[in-house]
Structure 1
Amino acid sequence: MTITNALAGIAVDDITAALDFYELLFGRMPDARPMGDIGEWKLPGGGWVQILADSDRAGAGTLTLIVDDLAEELGRLSLQGLTPVAKSMGDFFKTAKFRDPDGNQIIFSQPQPGTY
């Protein structure tokens, strides 16, 4: 078997509130709305992020997005009114953690030079 792509799903309770949040997070509308309770964003390096209404699983997800310039992303997100709940710097990555309206964790992570 050869895996050629991936779709990461994040369960939310209120799809309308979630779409508003993720549109700010990604800086654009979803690339696809295959059903009324799903929104999908295609990532430039491949793969998709899917937001789907599922009240039973809402709020327990984690999504890590690798970025080239964390400071630039934080500046863009700040202009949208989104601020991280935590930031950290490790030997391999510097990160900023956000929470969507349901409590799902979204981490923006920038590799440190020479580690990725």
Structure 2
Amino acid sequence: MTITNALAGIAVDDINEALDYYERLFGRPADARPMNDVAEWKLPGGGWVHVATDADRAGASSLTLVVDDLAEELGRLSLHGLTPVAKAMGDFFKTAKFRDPDGNQIVFSQPQHGTY
């Protein structure tokens, strides 16, 4: 078996409330709404982020999004009213951690030069 792609799932309590947050996070409406309680965003590398109503798991998801320029992303997100709850710089990555309204963790991560 060869794994060729991935779908990351984020569980939320209410998809309609989550849509506002994730539309600001991704800077656009969902690319697909396959069901009333699901919204999906396609990433340039081919993966998908799947946000779905799942009250039992809401707030327990974690998503890491790799970006080319973390400072640029933080500037864009700030314009949309989103601010990180934490930032860190390690030997391999710079990161900024966000929490959606349900408490799910979203981490933006930029590889350090020469490590990716």
TM-score, L = length of structure 2:
0.99
Do structure 1's residue 31 and structure 2's residue 46 form an aligned pair? no
Task: Measure the CA separation in 1 of the matches of 2:47 and 2:77.
Answer: 22
State the 1:46 CA deviation: 1.3
Give the corresponding residue for 1:86: 86
Which stretches in structure 2 are left out of the alignment for 5+ residues?
none
Q: Which residue of 2 aligns with 1:76?
A: 76
Which AA in structure 1 matches 2:79? Answer: L
AA of the residue aligned to 1:34: P
* Letter matched to residue 66 of structure 1: V
Number of equivalent positions: 116
TM-fit CA distance, 1:73: 0.1
For 1:35-89, what per-residue CA distance to the aligned partner results, in whole angstroms no more than 9, with x for missing partners?
Answer: 0000000000111000000000000010000000000000000000000000000
Displacement of 1:95 in angstroms is 0.3
Alpha-carbon distance between aligned partners in 1 of 2:97 and 2:64, rounded to the nearest angstrom: 9
Runs in 1 of length 4+ with deviation above 2 angstroms?
A: none
- Unpaired stretches in structure 1, ≥5 consecutive residues: none
Residue 99 (1) aligns with residue 102 (2)? no
State the percentage of identical aligned residues: 82
Partners of 2:46 and 2:75 lie apart in 1 by 24
Rounded Cα–Cα distance in structure 1 between residues aligned with 2:115 and 2:65: 16
2:71 partner amino acid: A
What is the TM-score normalised by the length of structure 1? 0.99
- State how far apart, in whole Å, the 1-side matches of 2:17 and 2:59 are: 13
